[in-house]
Structure 1
Amino acid sequence: MLKSAFIFDLDDTLYDQCQVFKKMYERFSDEKRLSEEVPTINSQTLKAIFIKSRHYAEQNFEKIIADPTKRFYYDSLRLRLAFLDHGFEFTVEETNRMDCLYKEEQTKLCPEPTMIELIEKLQADGHFVGVISNGYSKQQRDKIKQLNLTNYLDEEKMLISQDTQWAKPERELFDYYIDSHDLSREETYYIGDSYGNDLIGSWNADITPVWINKYDKELEHSRHNKEFYMATDYHELPEIIADIITK
């Protein structure tokens, strides 16, 4: 009998998306320096810009789902706005190029070793392990392939939101997954990095979130009484999961 269910987010949970972003800007800078000056941006500032770009991406996600032809426009716009918020102004053509480079870097993904070790241990100990990810089916399936996740998880246990009519943080997406796999809500935990999609989505579905709060986001005061677990980096997560299992 399965003991507990641990469901993982994909982006910036099973791999480090910020490193992809930094590699994108490194390549963009190298290209631009061949013909003109380009701002030198330190690692901490790039991290802050990346976090802001995630904010804009989440804002625009439903707009893109409603009209997929606008995806390239919004993907470029999120970069332009995120850099502008930190005092760096780029043209539409420049952020279009950044977006192309970013998508190229996403074809070279490597999984976070700590997460793969955790998945393998959980399954070896008899727990259910799966994935729920927001995103476009082809793009997310390509990432799953790049990360070799099917070496560790059954494909039918990995759900992409575009394959349904819902998206995180909507309760219905989690309900669909939980019902499809006959899971117990009381013993189901969702592990992810996004406050808005993963933490709130879990609470909407009456399951317990395990929040990987890598970017030091503050919890809204109105949510302080909600049950959750929190890690500030990947390496804290195995101990937290072990505590959950033995509680």
Structure 2
Amino acid sequence: MTLDHQAPRKGIFFDVDDTLYDHLTPFRDAVRSKIHPAEPFPYEAAYHRMRYYSDMLSIDLGGAGTRAYAAAVDDMRRERFRMALAEFGIQLQPEEAQEVQQVYLARQFDIKLFEGAPELLTRLSAAGYVVGVITNGPADHQTNKIKALKLGDLVPQERIFISGALGWDKPDPRIFQHVNQITGTEPCHSYFIGDSWRNDVVGALAAGWNSIWFNHRGAAPESEHKPGHMVSGYSELARWLESELATNVLWKSPCSEGWLFYFLLLNRMVDFWRGMSYI
């Protein structure tokens, strides 16, 4: 894989949960061990609903960095399980939902990066790209996941952005704008790779970023938004990035060098013809 670095530097940022590692595994383990549903149980579908309610309830509380979220986070975590599993005929009492949440929380730190992810992060960094992560959640909780994944060995600390530490959750465009400001990158030269349609695809597009949907679970689009590309795994992602970044695609965006080149050329032509008028 050869990735030729071009100026201006491109930023390539990744979501964490269910993008860099399998977030379904701790969910499935928690539901199996505490509820014992009749098999086969649609764990993946239930997981998607849990993520949906988690995002919805988090937004209702103002995001992971707010006081309201901190005060109600335990209730929110229980409620997301109750609401999601109710759709599949499982009615949980609050204490049962709390037990599921406790197992889910404990298993969240027994995780590892998807196959191919460490190699891709390493190669992108070695090629000179600005590589980082943007993740939603409380700062301490997400930091513990990042430590469990040993992401600090692959991504500089200053390029790890956690919503709970910043005050904005994806899909709020301000978190993407903040990342651009801190890393010295521009929206049209920034790529975001994530699994969540609402947070990652829609959020990145709203901020003017290039969006790559990491759709490894075969989910359906939730709106009319159009991500720049969709991949189902890291082999496919690596191949696409190699092709995308090896070509000069900067002309596609208003802040690109291609647009700047033609703008400057046009101005030089105007100046030339103005000069000719005086001869």
If the length of structure 2 is used for normalisation, what is the TM-score?
A: 0.79
Matches within 5 A, 1:75-94: 75-94=77-96
Runs of 5+ unmatched residues, structure 2: 1-6, 248-279
Residue 235 to residue 21, structure 1, CA distance change in 2 (3 Å): farther
Pick from 25, 40, 43 the counterpart of residue 42 of structure 1: 40
Query: CA–CA distance in 2 between the matches of 1:178 and 1:75?
Result: 31
Alignment match, 1:199: 201
Shift of 1:147: 0.6
Identity %: 26
Paired letter, 1:19: T
Q: Tell me, yes or no, if structure 1 residue 133 matches structure 2 residue 131.
A: no
Q: Which residue of 2 aligns with 1:159?
A: 161
CA RMSD between the two structures: 1.7
- Higher-Rg structure is 2
CA-CA distance at 1:4 after TM superposition: 2.0
Q: Work out whether residues 8 and 190 of structure 1, in 8 Å CA contact, stay in contact via their aligned partners in 2.
A: yes
Moved more, 8-17 or 179-188: 179-188
CA gap of 1:185–1:56, structure 2 versus 1, over 3 A, is same
Indicate the residue corresponding to 2:245 in structure 1.
245
Q: What is the identity, as a one-letter code, of the residue corresponding to 1:57? A: S
Structure 2 residue aligned with 1:32: none
1:108 aligns with one of 103, 107, 110:
110
Query: How far does residue 241 in structure 1 lie from its aligned partner after superposition?
Result: 1.5
* Runs of 4+ more than 4 Å apart: none
Matched residue SS, 1:132: strand
Deviation at 1:232, TM superposition (A): 2.4
Give, as a single letter, the amino acid of the residue that structure 2 aligns with 1:240: W
Matches for 1:1-247 after TM superposition, within 5 Å: 3-29=9-35, 38-42=36-40, 45-62=42-59, 63=61, 65=64, 66=66, 67=68, 68-220=70-222, 222-223=224-225, 226-247=226-247
2:17 maps to amino acid: D
Partners of 1:41 and 1:199 lie apart in 2 by 33
Count of aligned positions: 236
User: Is the Cα–Cα contact under 8 Å of residues 2 and 128 in structure 1 kept in the other structure?
Assistant: no
Distance in 1 separating the partners of 2:223 and 2:86: 29
Change (3 A) 1:39 1:222: closer
Whether the aligned pair in 1 keeps the contact of 2:133 and 2:161 (CA below 8 Å) is yes
When normalised by structure 1's length, the TM-score is 0.89
